[in-house]
Structure 1
Amino acid sequence: MPADKLSLYLAHRAALVDYAAPIVGCRARAEDVVQEAWLRFDGREPDAQAIGHPVGYLYRIVRNLSLDLTRRLATERRQPDGDAVLAELPAETASPEREVAGIDELQLISEALAELPQRTRTAFEMHRLGGYTLQQVATALGVSVGLVHQLVHDALAHCSARLEQADG
């Protein structure tokens, strides 16, 4: 089977490079991508499930590697010295005072949410804490999306007002 893999790769190598070149922006990078694809394709563990369409599988590997390279290059262009900048950032640990203040704020927000009507609190918790869309919350509560938006807004305004009262 290894000879079959190699002959398959060699038969399609030029087409794979042609396929990758427009994605990565140059033939030299495309050559690197196709070489990496071959290493992954050849290094794949032989198992009971043979690949149904090995050429398609090889093209998929090339496509995925090409897109990964494109994303990585775009990130490096946006922040060429990103690793150095990250290394110089201070640790993201809060001081003990900030931790206590955060705990106090969470307690105030919890109390503020407990003061809300059940439907308002449920809409807020589902949307802001549970990650549900406004449409999903509206369906669950049997109300309109506009009403859910208003309920979430009311809950946010109430929590914000309570935090401001505590600061004042």
Structure 2
Amino acid sequence: MTDERNWRRIDRMDNKVYDLVGVGVGAFNLSLSALLDNLPEVESVFFFLDQKPYFDWRLGMLIVGTRLQVPFMADLVSLANPTIVCVQDIHTEDATTYKCKYLVIGTGSDPVIPESYQSLSGENVYHISQFLERQDRCRKAKSIAVVGSGQSSAEVFHELFTNSAKALFVRLTF
């Protein structure tokens, strides 16, 4: 089913003030869109923009066997509305100015290596977002350190551990 009210092409000369414009189509703004679309008191004068013409959730970090890069309690999209109303692919080189009452920035975060480790960054020290392209090198290494306490670090640890016969030493500091 296509719902044209949210997906009409916007005329660059349109001076309309939109209720909401979302920048970025990640977990938060997908959730927000699903919730807004079902609220009768919210007029359907909102839309979302993204810099990419395709969807790539956590590019470079989706390890085989990974099901979801968002904790299940944060997956508001599936809970709110597990259907797709429609998708429209719009390509343009033009710059357009939009006016809105509320602007939601949901562009995610860029990979960050802490400042104290940036001098080490290179072939052997890198952010998890580069793991998939370097995993073969990791498997051949004599020793590996995975630094971090989040889901992605745990997935890399699990991937390397389950595919390695090498000894494992872990130090936990709380």
TM-score, length-scaled by structure 2: 0.20
Structure number with the higher strand fraction is: 2
Structure of greater Rg: 1
Structure number with the higher helix fraction is: 1
Structure scoring higher RCO (CA < 8 A, sep ≥ 6) equals: 2
